[in-house]
Structures are given as structure tokens and as C-alpha cells.
């Protein structure tokens, strides 16, 4: 399946945590014979969030494991998507190692300052959430598109179901992800002439450390247990279960491959039917 992805070069942001969606994407692309660039924050100490970030050790271990297992070229590179300076440094390392990029997965994401309603939300936390989730996609795409122009390519932005359905007390995340969906559509129109397709994926509930952290936070906030929160969530999903990072990675591979050659500007839900749209 997706044999056209062999020897393609794929850059994935937010791929530095073994439990995460980005790492599952890296594994899937490596399995299909693509060369992978694992880009992540890498310096958890300065992140200033409640969540963990990918560390340099973890990124290097992922790159080595997939390189050895699938015989593809891999690179682990530090980047903070809120900083054009670190993105510039990442691109220098990428250019030193690869001649082009064929596929970009803008997957890094975070949320700060939750739970809070709009009237109590800390302004710095609000801005920081946008800076990672929305402006990060803009910055990294701006840096990468020149390396795609000659041969065309595919860009896959990880948005969220929360970008389509209001997520309460997590407003900055929801609104920033809605922005990612519109940014995807603008980019798809602008880049179609360069043979670059741009799509967003909108995961619902996917079992990663971000999702576990969310259940813990909700349980604390509502005075229930993590198990109770997870059970309630599953009851709201027609398929009755939380999804896996691998299931999101399968969609990314489809959107990167020629199997989706006429698909651009779409925001595709992966949510076990939790959201159904006409």
C-alpha cells in the first residue's frame, strides 16, 4: 500500500514523544520507506507547560529505532515552532542532510492555561496556545514550502475535532485549531498551482499522553475519576472507544500518498463517528 511514498522525505513536527500521534506518523512513513525528520521541542525544561514535551534523548532514540528497523534515513532535530530562529536552524540542518522535502506534517500542538472560561483565561496562556498551534503551522510551512516548490508535495496539518465543535474551558485550543482548518484551506488554494496539496486532519479522542492529561485534568476539575471521565467519553463516541495514534497515522499516509491525488483543502475527521457533518 502507498508504494509511492518510498524514498519520499517527510518532516514531522511534534514527533518526539513515543506515545504521540507524530511518532506514530513517523513510524508509518518509515514503514512505507520514506526518510523521516523527527522535529520536536527537545528541551522540556523551558517549555513552561503542564504537559510533557519530546526530549532530545527520546527524539534521537525514535530516529535510531526507525532508521535501523526500516533502513531509511532519519534525522532528529530540535525546533520550537514558536521561534522563527529555531525553525531557521532546523532548516539549515535539514538542507545539510536532504535535497528536498516532499511531505510536511505540521503536528506540534499544545494547550496552556486550562481549564478556564474566556472571562478568566490568562492572556499570556491564550497567546502562547495560538503561537504553538496556529502560528507554528504558518511559520514551519513558510520555511518548508521553498523546499517543496520544485517537485510538489503534500502538507498535512493536525487540527482537531475541537476546531469544529466548541471545547469548553479550553477556548484558546479550540479557536486556534479552527484557525488551522482555515489556514489549511487558504494554503490549499494558494499552493495548488505548485502541485502542493494541503489538508487537515481532525482527530477526536486519541489515546496519547495529551489525552491522558486531559482526563486527569477533567477528573480533578469535576471531582470524578480518570476512569469515569474515559467511560463518559466513550459513551459519546458511536464506535464506543478512544482511537489510537496509528489510526491517525494511517490517514496521514493516505493524504500524503497518490491515493489522495485529487484531495486538497479538506479537514477530515478521525473520531469514531463522534462528529458527523454533511
The residues annotated with a catalytic role in the active site are 173
Q: For residue 33, give the nearest of 72, 76, 69, 67 by alpha carbon.
A: 72
Among the listed residues 77, 87, 206, 255, the single contact to ligand NAD using CB under 6 A = 206
| Shortest distance, position 187 Cβ to ligand NAD, whole Å | 16
Nearer to ligand NAD, 14 or 113 (CB): 14
Q: Are 256 and 8 in contact (CB under 8 A)?
A: yes
Neighbouring residues of 219: CB distance < 8 A, sequence distance ≥ 6: 225, 226, 228, 229
Should residue 200 be labelled a site residue for ligand NAD when binding is judged by CB under 6 A? no
Min dist CB 3 to ligand NAD, Å, is 27
Whether the CB-CB separation of 102 and 9 falls below 8 Å is answered with yes
Cell numbers given for 207: 489515546
> Does the footprint of ligand NAD cover residue 179 (CB under 6 A)?
no
The site map against ligand NAD for 8-37 (x = CB under 6 A) is -----xx-xx-xxxx---------------
Nearer to ligand NAD, 61 or 99 (CB): 61
Residues forming a β-bridge with 39: 13, 77
Report yes or no: 5 and 257 within 8 Å, Cβ to Cβ. yes
The contact set with ligand NAD (CB under 6 A) reads: 13-14, 16-17, 19-22, 40-41, 51, 53-54, 79-82, 107-110, 132, 158, 160, 203, 205-206, 208-211
Amino acid at each position: 500500500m502507498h508504494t509511492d511514498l518510498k524514498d519520499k522525505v517527510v518532516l514531522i513536527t511534534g514527533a518526539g514523544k513515543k506515545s504521540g500521534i507524530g511518532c506514530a506518523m513517523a513510524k508509518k512513513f518509515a514503514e512505507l520507506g520514506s526518510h523521516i525528520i523527527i522535529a520536536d521541542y527537545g528541551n522540556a525544561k523551558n517549555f513552561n507547560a503542564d504537559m510533557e514535551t519530546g526530549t532530545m534523548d527520546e527524539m534521537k532514540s525514535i530516529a535510531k529505532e526507525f532508521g535501523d528497523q526500516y533502513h531509511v534515513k532519519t534525522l532528529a532535530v530540535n525546533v520550537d515552532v514558536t521561534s522563527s530562529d529555531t525553525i531557521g536552524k532546523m532548516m539549515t540542518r535539514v538542507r545539510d542532510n536532504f535535497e528536498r522535502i516532499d511531505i510536511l506534517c505540521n503536528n506540534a500542538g499544545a494547550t496552556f492555561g486550562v481549564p478556564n472560561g474566556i472571562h478568566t483565561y490568562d492572556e499570556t496562556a491564550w497567546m502562547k496556545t495560538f503561537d504553538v498551534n496556529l502560528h507554528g503551522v504558518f511559520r514551519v510551512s513558510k520555511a518548508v514550502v521553498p523546499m517543496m516548490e520544485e517537485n510538489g508535495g503534500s502538507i498535512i496539518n493536525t487540527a482537531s475535532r475541537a476546531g469544529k465543535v466548541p471545547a469548553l474551558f479550553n477556548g484558546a485550543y479550540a479557536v486556534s485549531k479552527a484557525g488551522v482548518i482555515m489556514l489549511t484551506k487558504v494554503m490549499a488554494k494558494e499552493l495548488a498551482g505548485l502541485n502542493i496539496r494541503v489538508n487537515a486532519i481532525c482527530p477526536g479522542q486519541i489515546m496519547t499522553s495529551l489525552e491522558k492529561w486531559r482526563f486527569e485534568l477533567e477528573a480533578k476539575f469535576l471531582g470524578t475519576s480518570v476512569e469515569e471521565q474515559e467511560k463518559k467519553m466513550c459513551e459519546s463516541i458511536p464506535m464506543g472507544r478512544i482511537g489510537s495514534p496509528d489510526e491517525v497515522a494511517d490517514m496521514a499516509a493516505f493524504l500524503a500518498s497518490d491515493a489522495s491525488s485529487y484531495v486538497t483543502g479538506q479537514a477530515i475527521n478521525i473520531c469514531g463517528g463522534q462528529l458527523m457533518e454533511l
